[in-house]
């Protein structure tokens, strides 16, 4: 059986990273996350990690609902991604992802990103986009 869910993230040049609640759910609602980049393959990944890992980004869940995700910040990460892809800094980019269950990681292909107006939170989740998480 194929489980279809919205696995998305969006990046703004300012350092804002939005992660869909589905993505976080699949990762087990981690308290700490690694933000990984593979320049050659044009992919990024989010992987849960230990609170002892110095590279971690902390995630807070106090007001999460099924309809919203979390916002974290990493200017170094988003600046690097924008630089690699040559993206327009006036937009944020939404990227569909795939959950790799045996590695407990979500991978995003940067070549599948699409620009989104950088002024609202409501367009963070595309109602019409569904992504297959059984790879």
Instruction: With CA atoms as reference, report the closest residue to 81 among 105, 111, 106, 57.
Output: 111
Q: How many structural domains comprise the chain?
A: 1
Residue 26 lies in a domain: yes
Q: Furthest-apart CA pair in the chain: how many Å?
A: 40
Residue 135 lies in a domain: no
Residue 48 lies in a domain: yes
Residue 126 lies in a domain: no
Residue 57 lies in a domain: yes
What are 72's two structure tokens? 């974290």
Span 4-17, average pLDDT: 88
Alpha-carbon Rg for the chain, nearest whole angstrom, is 14
The reported pLDDT for the residue numbered 65 is 55
| Domain span holding position 98 | 4-120
pLDDT digits (tens, 9 = 90+) for 63-105: 655 556 788 999 999 999 999 999 999 999 999 999 999 999 9
């Amino acid at each position: 059986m194929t489980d279809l869910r919205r696995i998305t993230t969006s990046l703004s040049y300012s350092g804002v990273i939005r992660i869909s609640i589905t993505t976080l759910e699949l990762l087990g609602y981690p308290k700490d996350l690694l933000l990984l980049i593979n320049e050659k393959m044009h992919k990024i990944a989010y992987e849960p990690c230990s609170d002892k890992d110095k590279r971690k980004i902390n995630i807070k869940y106090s007001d999460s609902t099924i309809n919203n995700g979390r916002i974290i910040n990493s200017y170094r990460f988003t600046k690097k991604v924008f630089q690699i892809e040559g993206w327009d800094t006036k937009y944020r980019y939404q990227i569909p992802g795939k959950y790799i269950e045996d590695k407990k990681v979500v991978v995003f292909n940067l070549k599948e990103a699409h620009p989104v107006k950088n002024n609202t939170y409501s367009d963070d989740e595309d109602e019409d986009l569904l992504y297959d998480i059984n790879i």
